[in-house]
């Protein structure tokens, strides 16, 4: 694909570009991401990067380095070492991560490993699923009639358990809207913690799976019924969960009709 006129950066041998691929829809790639795909010798990609996006780098070797809960996954240390190894071989290495590499994407860890190894890098942000994915579901993460704050939360920590360092009481009181990544496995615990912290059982919640893709599904429910309704609907990860009254805006903004 020919890029529009611009001084596009040249992908130099021995460099690693840490790049966000967006939430799924290939049309949500940035032009810098597309430029990287067109020049890369190797694309080291996550499980959430779809075939339509990978097909934009026909000249490149594709290396799967995805991590999915409950399935055999590459270790983060091994991924970082692989990036260093490929760069030292003189390859143009595109590390392609779903969403944005710095939003629960561990791009900071990979960038630090590259820096420690003396490997030059470029960082290319991407559209995060917690914003773009919800927009495709007709949910604005902020609306001036509803909220003046939004909090992004990961549903698990380094141990794959619900984060123990989070102050659910403080989060519940401080933020009108909560957006939870990777929360399906522990949604019962998360919902219970928020209810115990004072969030109302009737608070609107939306669960979006396969966000921005043709297979996108949206479940509208409440915090009190969240765990049971997810199970009844048979919804599975990957998912973004939005808690707060902005979910009600879907009644007007559900442009896809999902």
CA nearest 180: which of 28, 193, 254? 193
| pLDDT per position as a tens digit, 178-237 | 999 999 999 999 999 999 999 999 999 999 999 999 999 999 999 999 999 999 999 999
pTM of the model: 0.92
| DSSP string covering 10-26 | P--TT-EEEEE-BSS-G
Q: Which helix or strand (DSSP H or E) is residue 172 part of?
A: helix 168-174
Q: Which residues are catalytic?
A: 46, 67, 182
Peptide bond into 50 cis (omega under 30): no
In Å, how far from its chain's centre is CA 32? 18
Q: Residue 87's pLDDT is what? A: 98
Which domains are delineated in the chain? 16-127 (3.40.1010.10), 130-253 (3.30.950.10)
Does the structure show a pLDDT above 90 at 161? no
Task: Give the C-alpha separation, 227 to 221, whole Å.
Answer: 10
What are the C-alpha distances in Å from 162 to residues 155, 178, 183, 207, 253?
6, 15, 8, 18, 32
């Amino acid at each position: 694909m020919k890029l529009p006129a611009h001084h596009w950066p040249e992908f130099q041998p021995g460099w690693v570009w840490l790049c966000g691929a967006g939430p799924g829809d290939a049309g949500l790639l940035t032009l810098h991401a597309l430029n990287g795909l067109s020049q890369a010798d190797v694309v080291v990609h996550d499980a959430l990067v779809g075939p339509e996006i990978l097909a934009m780098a026909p000249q490149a070797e594709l290396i799967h380095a995805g991590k999915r809960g409950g399935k055999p996954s590459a270790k983060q240390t091994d991924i970082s070492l692989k990036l260093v190894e490929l760069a030292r071989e003189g390859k143009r290495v595109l590390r392609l991560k779903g969403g944005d590499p710095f939003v629960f994407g561990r791009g900071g860890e990979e960038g630090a490993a590259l820096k420690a190894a003396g490997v030059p890098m470029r960082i290319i942000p991407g559209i995060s699923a917690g914003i773009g994915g919800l927009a495709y579901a007709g949910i604005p993460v902020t609306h001036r009639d509803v909220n003046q704050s939004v909090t992004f939360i990961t549903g698990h920590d380094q141990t794959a358990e619900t984060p123990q360092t989070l102050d659910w009481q403080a989060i519940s009181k401080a933020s009108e809207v909560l957006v939870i990544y990777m929360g399906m496995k522990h949604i019962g615990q998360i919902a219970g913690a928020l209810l115990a912290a004072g969030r109302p059982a009737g608070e609107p919640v939306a669960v979006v799976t396969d966000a921005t893709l043709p297979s996108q599904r949206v479940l509208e429910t409440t915090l009190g019924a969240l765990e049971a309704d997810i199970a009844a609907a048979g919804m599975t990860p990957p998912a973004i969960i939005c808690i707060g009254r902005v979910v009600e805006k879907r009644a007007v903004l559900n442009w896809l009709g999902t």
